[in-house]
Homo-oligomer: A and B are copies of this chain.
Amino acid sequence: MLAEDAMVERIARLAGTDPRVEVGIGDDAAVLAGGVVLSTDIHVEGVHFRRDRLTPAEIGARVAAANLSDLAAMGAEPLCLLLALGIPEGFEDVDALVGGVASHGVALAGGDLSRADSLVLSVTAAGSAERPVLRSGGRPGDLLVVTGPLGAQAASGYTAPIVPRLAEGAELARMATAMIDLSDGIATDLRRLAAASGCGARVALTGLPVAGGATPDQAATGGEDHELLAAVPPEATLPDWAIVVGELTGGDAVSFLDSTGQPRDLRGYDHFA
């Protein structure tokens, strides 16, 4: 298990429960009674982005996109965003940063400001879903599909725009048994979906869609693509754009097979390794 996932498990044990919280820590977003879906992301200068590689508007757009992608992975429709901002002395481009956060057409409904040593953005997205799709509903035999080519972020040095797959997530929600957004690479995130579903999985690396300019390894292990990975029953009628990359299996082994059919040991990015 990744160090980050172990920390999340520890935190979940301290979190307490409430009958009005239908889904808590451990999925892409929390689900409250009534179908309100909530997700928080924190992006820190020097960890998630560099100010010499991205404009303030691009930084704001990236954080909001990553956050909206968590709603997409639940099949939720966004309602609004909240922005908590830590601003270093001398940083003058707050308007551009905020403009970037608001650039996805989702209203910014509130926030908070503080001084900080480095630029920090924490965005919370609220949405609604009639039938939120969790990570945990996958079954052996379900097909694994992704919403687009992988590795674009790693290939771009994490500067390519992130597009939250909201429409695709809503469409997949009508058929998917489980869904997750690919924030840490399919090698990591498929393990999370499979473990939550109590399944194994098998993916042929030669069948992964590789983004232009990316290597096959970047497609398998690169972070921050924010395409969606869904498990769908084999009898489902898939949308044209859905790309089948593998299937869920019995057991608990998650295998990435190379062109000779041999399993390869692949790991995505671990923030706390």
- B-binding residues in A (CB < 8 A): 4, 7-8, 10-11, 14-18, 20-21, 23-25, 27, 29-30, 32, 34, 36, 38-44, 46-48, 79-80, 82-86, 94-95, 98-99, 102, 105-118, 120, 122, 124, 126, 271-272
A86 to B14, CA, bound (A): 18
Q: Tell me the smallest distance from the CB of A33 to a CB of chain B, in Å.
A: 8
Contact of A98 among B15, B84, B95, B110 (CB under 8 A): B15
**Are B120 and A42 in contact, CB atoms less than 8 angstroms apart?**
yes
Residues of chain B with a CB closer than 8 A to A46's CB:
117
Complex contact B117–A38 (CB within 8 A):
no
Scoring A25, A85, A111 by chain B CB atoms within 10 A of each residue's CB, the highest score goes to A111
Q: How far is the CB of A213 from chain B (nearest CB, A)?
A: 27
- Given that A80-B18, A102-B16, A272-B115 are known contacts, is A110 also in contact with B44, CB under 8 Å in the complex? no
Q: Which of A85, A106, A124 has the most CB of B within 10 A?
A: A124
B contact residues around A18 at 8 Å (CB): 79-80, 106-107, 109
What is the bound-complex CA distance between A83 and B8, given in angstroms? 11
A109 CB to nearest B CB, Å: 4
| Complex A-B: 11 CB contacts under 8 Å | A15-B107, A15-B108, A16-B108, A20-B79, A29-B110, A30-B109, A39-B82, A40-B124, A42-B120, A117-B117, A122-B122
Interface centre among A23, A109, A116 (most CB of B within 10 A): A109
Contact A110 B47 (CB under 8 A): no
Q: For A41, give its contact among B7, B30, B112 (CB under 8 Å).
A: B112
A43 to B21: give the CA distance in the assembly, Å.
25
With contacts A95-B14, A117-B118 taken as known, whether A24 is within 8 angstroms of B84 at the C-beta atoms is no
- Chain B nearest CB: distance from A68 CB in Å? 14
Q: Once bound together, how far apart are the Cα atoms of A47 and B115, in whole Å? A: 7
Which 5 residue pairs are nearest across A and B when measured between Cβ atoms?
Answer: A122-B122, A42-B84, A30-B109, A15-B108, A18-B107
Q: Given A8-B113, A107-B21, A115-B272, are A83 and B40 also a contact pair (CB < 8 Å)?
A: yes
Contact A116:B113 (CB < 8 A) given known A15-B102, A24-B107, A79-B32? no
Q: Is the CB of B107 within 8 A of A16?
A: yes
- Which of B20, B30, B85 lies in contact with A110, CB distance below 8 A? B30
Closest CB in chain B relative to A51 CB, distance in Å: 14
Known contacts A21-B79, A113-B272, then 14 further A-B pairs from the complex at CB < 8 Å, ordered by chain A residue: A7-B94, A11-B83, A11-B98, A11-B108, A14-B102, A18-B109, A25-B108, A25-B109, A34-B34, A40-B112, A42-B120, A44-B115, A47-B116, A115-B271
